[in-house]
Amino acid sequence: MGSCQGCGARLLPGKGWCRACRETPNIFVLTVMWLDADGREPQGRDKRRERTWGWFPSLELAETTVTSKDGHIYEDGYYNVALIEEIPWGSLAIPRAEHWYSASMLKPESDERALYDVKKIDKPEAFRSVCSFGMG
C-alpha cells in the first residue's frame, strides 16, 4: 500500500496521487533569476538574484508573461532566466513539471525600453537535484 502525495489517502502500490488530488488543477508559478553563462548562481547569498512574480492558472498565460516583448519581468537585465513550475496543491508539494527559459537583452545600451530574445532551455545542470524554486 502506498499513500497519496497530496492528501495521504491510501492507494494501491505504484500510484502517487489519489483521483481527487490528481484532478485538482496545478498552479503555474513564475520565478526569474540571474545565472552566469554556465547556468550557475553567483556565489554569496547577497549576490544571488531570484524573485517569484506570481502564479497563473495555465501554462499558456504564464508563458505569455515570460515571452512578452517588453520583458518587464527581467528588470532591464537584472534577471536573465525564467522558470515556470507546475505545482499541485498541498504542503511542500513537489512541482510536477518545470519549464525553463533564457532571456537575452537585445538593446542593452538604448534609452528605449529593453527588448528580449527569449528561448526555451534545458534545466541548468547545476540545479539537477534542486526543485521548488518559486515556493521555497
Binding site for Zn ion (CB under 5 A): 4, 6-7, 9, 18, 21
Residue closer to Zn ion, measured from CB, 18 or 93? 18
CB half-sphere exposure, 111, CA atoms < 13 A: 0
Q: Closer CB to Zn ion, residue 2 or residue 57?
A: 2
The most distant pair of C-alpha atoms in the chain lies apart, rounded to whole Å, by 62
* Nearest distance from C-beta of residue 15 to Zn ion, angstroms: 10
- C-beta closer to Zn ion: residue 6 or 71: 6
Phi, psi of 60 (to 5 degrees): -60, -45
Report d(CA 51, CA 10) in Å as an integer.
37
Closest approach, Cβ 134 to Zn ion, in A, equals 22
Rounded to a whole number of angstroms, the minimum distance from the CB of residue 91 to Zn ion is: 12
Please check whether residue 82 is in contact with residue 50, taking contact to mean a CB–CB distance below 8 angstroms. Answer: no
